[in-house]
Amino acid sequence: MKSFDWARNEVLVFGVIVAFCVLAAVSDPNFLSIPTLIDLMRNGIVLGILAVAAMVVLVSGGIDVSFTAVAAFAMYTTTVILRDVAPDLPWPVAFAVATAIGAALGAINGVLIAVFGLPTLIVTLGTLSVFRGFLLTFVGTVQISNLPSGMRDFSRLMMIRGTNSDGSFYSLPWAFAFLVALVILTWFILNRTMLGRSIYAIGGAPESARRIGIDVTKTQMFIYIYVGALAGLAGIIHASTARIANPFDLVGLELSVIAAVVLGGARLTGGVGTLTGTLLGVALIVLVRNSLIVIGIPSTWQSVTIGALILLGTGLPAWQAKRAEARAA
């Protein structure tokens, strides 16, 4: 039986979330309510899917900053294709197209990283601007508010609806089910398949992974295609639920997403990371982005808060590791 480790990131982040909620409830008793919770869940859908994708890459020892550009590209291009070619197709087709486009773009990252062995940060910084530049140069720069009917149908699918005491409505779209399903799928891949164990193994030590017979190239190809596919899906969900396809959306979010994942305990050096931690990290980032004002911190301090949380969340384990190393030496 492993002893319970209080300094694990998951525990720390959970503690911060609880503290945040207690403070918020003290200053505004209305904070602890179903509408607030549903609001946070709705705001966490796209961020959550992207974070799951980013986590898989971090676990494998890489880093991907291009996934927001992939999401924007897949989302906008799919909308344009549907609008111009077949505006009446149902939403699952739109989702499939976006996922396929995302996977194709992810494969480009995969080839550069897995086949040519280029550093992941540099490759994805490059493809970030290539995908975005291509989208804005050749596909379009005008936002589309008149979405194809399939995407509009999807935006009306609600899991939960309710009315606040002041008469306004709150609702949780079915898109949330996608987040849940993708978390389960990713959990299954990471923890119940050889592929998932290979991803952890590569992140832990690529050379050892190779020597025990893991095909590093194939595994890396899978990772970047999977991340691209998830990003494409996140993109189309974003456009469908926001009821607008804006090619300038999403890009710029990548560092917040990576911040959420890192807060949840995934290590940049690879091999370490859990879905629980990632989702807690997402919850914390969403709380800070939406409700900082409730605990009396002006929203202009949002960046400082997220930055400080990242340093705290990565600093503590790093410092502990360093101390342990010094003690061992």
Partner 1 sequence: MSRILHSTEGRLALITIVVFVLMAALSPERFLSPQNLTSMAFQFPEFAILALAVAVAMLTGGIDLSVVGAANLSAVVAALFMANVVGADGGAGMVALAFVMALCVGLVAGLFNGVLVATLGLPPILATLGSGLIFTGFAIAMTGGSAVMGLPSAAAWIGNGTILWIPVPLVVFALLAAALGWLMSRTSFGLKTRMFGANPLAARYAAMDTGAVLIKLYALCGMLSAVAGFIVMSRANSAKADYGSSYLLLAVLIAVLGGVNPYGGYGRIIGVVLAVLSMQFLSSGLNLLGVTNFAREMIWGALLIAVMLINTLAKRRTS
Which is nearest to 73 in space by CA: 98, 37, 41, 39? 98
- For position 310 contacting partner 1 by CB under 8 A, the verdict is yes
CB nearer to partner 1: give 38 or 259: 259
- φ/ψ region of 252 (left if φ > 0, alpha if ψ in -120 to 50, else beta) reads left
- Judged by CB under 8 A, the number of residues near partner 1 is 47
84-94 in b/e form (b: 16+ CB < 10 A) is eeeeebebeeb
Interface residue with partner 1, options 17, 25, 136, 205 (CB under 8 A): 136
Interface residue with partner 1, options 133, 159, 169, 191 (CB under 8 A): 133
- For position 126 contacting partner 1 by CB under 8 A, the verdict is yes
Which is nearest to 313 in space by CA: 290, 274, 281, 283? 281
Query: Which residue spans within the chain are E strands per DSSP?
Result: 158-163, 169-173
**Distant-in-sequence contacts of 143-146, Cβ < 8 A, 24+ apart:** 143/244, 143/245, 143/246, 143/247, 143/248, 144/76, 144/79, 144/80, 144/83, 144/244, 144/245, 144/246, 145/243, 145/244, 146/83
Closest distance of CB 137 from partner 1, Å:
4
Which is nearest to 270 in space by CA: 61, 51, 63? 61
Helices (H), 111-148: 120-134
Closest distance of CB 126 from partner 1, Å:
4
Interface residue with partner 1, options 127, 217, 221, 264 (CB under 8 A): 127
Which range touches partner 1 (CB under 8 A), out of 35-43, 80-88, 178-186, 298-306?
A: 298-306
Separation between Cα atoms, residue 119 and residue 279, nearest integer Å: 27
Restricting to residues 222-241, name those near partner 1 by CB under 8 A: none
Here's the x/- map for partner 1, 257-296, by CB under 8 A: it reads as: -xx--x-----xx---------------------------
Return the ∠ at Cα 19 (arms to 18 and 24), rounded to 5°: 95
CB nearer to partner 1: give 41 or 260: 260
- For position 141 contacting partner 1 by CB under 8 A, the verdict is yes
Here's the x/- map for partner 1, 70-109, by CB under 8 A: it reads as: ----------------------------------------
Tokens read off for 199: 């991803």
Q: Across-strand partners of 144?
A: 245
- For position 324 contacting partner 1 by CB under 8 A, the verdict is no
Which range touches partner 1 (CB under 8 A), out of 98-106, 111-119, 186-194, 230-238?
A: 111-119
Instruction: Using CB under 8 A, list all residues that contact partner 1.
Output: 63, 112, 116-119, 121-123, 125-130, 132-137, 141, 255, 258-259, 262, 268-269, 298, 300-311, 314-315, 318-319, 321-322
